[in-house]
Chain A
Amino acid sequence: MLQVKKYSEDELVSLLQSKDAQAFNYLYDNYSAALYGVIYKMVEDKELAEDILQEVFVKIWNNFSNYNSTKGRLFTWMLNITRNLSIDTFRSKTYKKQVKIQSFENSVDNFIDSTSGTGQFDSLGIRRHLTRLKNDQKQIIDLAYFSGFTQEEIAKQLSIPLGTVKTRMRTAIMELRKILQV
């Protein structure tokens, strides 16, 4: 069903707080790809990622009364739920991280998938921009965002002192902001 109606963030938030079904549908249609992408990048398993995506949206639905604009941006709030659930899952002892060698075909399929759909964003455009990020800057942001590592684990991974993690992260994200013009 084509959702022609667009909501402002305030409208969306207040409708979701009153458990409006149409608003929830809209939220799913517009944000599921972004959240799924993060989950999949973190767990690298389609079935598990789909399960976690379910948990994320059910949790968003059930906990929406906890959210208001003083908590910050809606998308960031949802991303935090997503990342935390993903990290909890791959830290639990029932999960075994399957190392999947992403074949070239797989990554091309994903690439095509993400350019279609009802998303209001242009992930293809963003990815093009991000190629301007230096490799070691991309690496430290990836470690911080997708791996679930602590500051100490990142320092160990990169063989740098703990204090350097902060300053390198600052530099990398400032570069990211320049590229994205934030």
Chain B
Amino acid sequence: MESKDIISSGLLELYVLGLASNEENTNVRRWITQFPEVDKEIAEIQVAMEGYALAQATQPDQSVKKKILDRIVLPSNDKVTSEVSFQKNETAKVYTIPSYYKWAAAASIILLIGSLIINYTYYNKYQSVSANLQVAQNELNKQKEIAAGMSKDMQVVTDKNAMPVVLKGTPHAPDALAKIFWMQNTGEVYVDPTNLPQPAADKQYQLWAIVDGKPVDGGMISIQKGLYKIQKMKSFGKAEAFAITLEKQGGSPTPTMQEMYVIAKIKI
């Protein structure tokens, strides 16, 4: 296609306005690299649309700026403390998870080095002692429970009220994964933790639901390697997000942010 035909077609205008199809967008992007006239035309259309947008300019309320500054993490400010605190949210709306990610990542970078050393020593110490014991126990339990367990699992997965939620790995544990089946009729929560890494013997995974911006304990998760077993956790009528952290055996009243393995935001 000749560049002057492209320019006079009106397709570039639609592209800038975000109204073109995926195929049209791909073509335009190719033409931008092929024809400098197309590149120039696009820039001029963008400037015109910026001007058009500017005609609507209206000052927002003063209060909005502070709310924004409170939510972003400024590296120099060291807003990170060792206490766990989620963003206080007066109107109980859902905020995008990336803020949690960045917050958790900043916290973990600062504190992780020390705790990593400790964890690694513990892990080594207990790994060899508990591994053999664990394996022996698992084999025994496996044979006993496998039949009953699997049919129960299938019941949860195939329940038409079950809403599957995939909790994805955090920067702390990028390959970790967990699945939740959240019964939309009863609020019951079942977790499939098979893709969480095996924890140290003195550590246990804990589920959290974020309700009204605050973390609420969802129960402790037991990992039995090699056995597909969905566990029933605490029920939640509503939640903005679910997360799993690694705590000491028995759990913690508040989540250890730098030991967050997986998280998922609930899309409404």
For the complex, is B253 an interface residue (Cβ under 8 Å from A)?
no
The residue of chain B having its C-beta at the shortest distance from the C-beta of A164 within the complex is B10
B22 within 8 A of A: no
In the assembled complex, the Cα of A113 lies from the Cα of B75 at a distance in Å of 34
Q: Does A159 contact B (CB under 8 A)?
A: no
Q: Are B59 and A127 in contact (CB under 8 A)?
A: no
Interface size class of A (residues with CB under 8 A): 35 or more
Cβ contact of B19, chosen from A38, A114, A144, cutoff 8 A: A144
CB proximity of A114 to chain B, nearest CB, Å: 5
B47 / chain A contacts, CB cutoff of 8 Å: 73, 180, 182
Q: Cα distance A50–B268 when bound, in Å?
A: 20
Interface size on B, residues (CB 8 A): 49
Contact of B48 among A37, A79, A177 (CB under 8 A): A177
Interface string of B1-23 (1 = CB under 8 A from A): 00000001111011011111000
How many Cβ-Cβ contacts under 8 Å join chain A to chain B? 159
B93-101, B136-144, B159-167, B217-225 - the one binding chain A? B93-101
Tell me the smallest distance from the CB of B199 to a CB of chain A, in Å.
30
**Residues of B close to A116: CB separation below 8 A:** 59
Q: Which of A51, A59, A92, A182 is close to B96, meaning CB atoms less than 8 Å apart?
A: A59
- Is A32's CB within 8 Å of the partner chain B? yes
Taking the closest CB of chain B, its distance from the CB of A12, in whole angstroms, is: 16
A58 touches B96 (CB 8 A): yes
In residues 55-101 of chain B, which contact A (Cβ within 8 Å)?
Answer: 55-61, 63-65, 67-68, 71-72, 74-77, 93, 95-96, 98-99
Pair A83/B18 contact, Cβ less than 8 Å: yes
